[in-house]
Structure 1
Amino acid sequence: MRRAPGYPVRMTGPAKKRTREEYEQGLPDHHDPTAGFAGAPAAQSALTLRLILALFGLVVCLAGGLGWLATDLPAWPAVLLLIFAVVAVVDIVVIVRRKARGEPG
């Protein structure tokens, strides 16, 4: 396998479980191509903002879906809104687990 010049070969073993201290210090910026560019700080995940937006989406989709079912209109938009509400619940669970693990944001 050929590799581009300047890129070292990275040999990694099995992934070890990260500690709370590692999350508090911040994880490597593998997802941020501009990390450290011109002295810029490393990007951090905005988990709290994501949680607020997911909660807002849950409330709006749930209220809209149930409100739509109360009318005589076709039911498919209500089903679509309720599916979005389920997606928001899954996102909330993922966010809460990440925050409980100690990730900043």
Structure 2
Amino acid sequence: MPIGPQPPGRRGTVGEPYSALNLRLVLAAFGFVVCTVLAVVLLRAGWTVPGWLLAAWALVAVVDLVVVQLRRRARRRSGGGRDFSLFE
């Protein structure tokens, strides 16, 4: 494996690296679903403190979803409508 700022053949540069917004969107959605389901299960089982903590994490995931979506829209406007893959 070459030692350097980025593997050869990649499009990103040191000044303009890859953006993982789409991947971050998927991970935030996964976190929202998991935290919501576990919060409901824990609250129904009577574990109120862990249930509310997971509900708070689900809320943080929703905020992250909104922020990432706003950044993706801004990137799409500045990129000329180009579609981006999951990892850029």
Query: Does the pair score TM above 0.5?
Result: yes
Aligned residues: 71
Residues 2-46 of structure 1 deviation map (CA, whole Å, 9 limit, x = unaligned): xxxxxxxxxxxxxxxxxxxxxxxxxxxxxxxx47xx887422111
Partner residue in 2 for 1:69: 43
Between structures 1 and 2, the one with greater helix share: 2
Structure number with the bigger relative contact order (C-alpha 8 A, sep ≥ 6) is: 2
- Residue 57 of structure 2, aligned match among 80, 84, 99: 84
CA-atom RMSD in angstroms: 2.3
TM-score, length-scaled by structure 1? 0.58
Q: Deviation of residue 102 (structure 1)?
A: 1.9
SS at match of 1:102: helix
- Percent sequence identity over matched residues? 39
CA distance in 2, matches of 1:39, 1:56: 31
The equivalent of 1:58 in structure 2 is: 32
